[in-house]
Amino acid sequence: MILWTIQPAELYAQIMKDGYYQFDPDKATKDTAFMFEAKNAYDWLATEMIKRIGKPPHGVSYPVWAWYIYDFKRKKPDLRKAEYGIKGEQMVCLEIDIPDNEVVLSDEEKWHHVLGNWYIYSANCEKDFNEEVRWFDKLTEDKKQEEIISSWQRVFDVEPVNNGFEIQGRFVQATFWKLKAEQIRKVQFFTAR
């Protein structure tokens, strides 16, 4: 599966030196340090990845992230966007090829619901949405939290939908446990905007 991962430029040098990259929370850069503010979401994702693709290599707790779909297209992300790194930082976009059975795909916009501990609604029209809101609002706090976590399975729904009410699959992210140097197909250095 062809994917694109955007990382600090020094990470590419590390991959070439060590032959691989796996996320190390002890060496988290300023860009990934925010992760620990949403540790429960990342722990949940890691558990889901174990269910879907198996246990991580020894010493790995969290995944490497990449892009699979960008703006409804199978293409490299637009590196002119301001969201990739801190302005002026040297970055690299790696085109990589990871075996399909080692990748978990998820909807990037729905992932923000997991990060925020929010419910992911299933409605695909305004009428159904309003009914679902009324149903959810009537739940006890304990039942709400149970339904919130259950709803997160919808993050793995990545089939494209754009029906004027719901948008799904516009940006699809990929997670996997380890990136090996030999899985890198192309390298593009750039400066974050």
| Domains parsed from the chain with CATH numbers | 2-109+158-191 (3.20.170)
Among 29-33, 77-81, 89-93, 101-105, the minimum mean pLDDT is found in 29-33
pTM for this entry? 0.91
pLDDT at 35 over 60: no
Q: How far is CA 45 from CA 51, 79, 81, 146, 192, in A?
A: 10, 26, 26, 16, 27
Confidence of residue 56 (pLDDT cuts 50, 70, 90): very high
Give CA angle at 134 (130, 138), nearest 5°.
165
| Mean residue pLDDT across the chain | 92
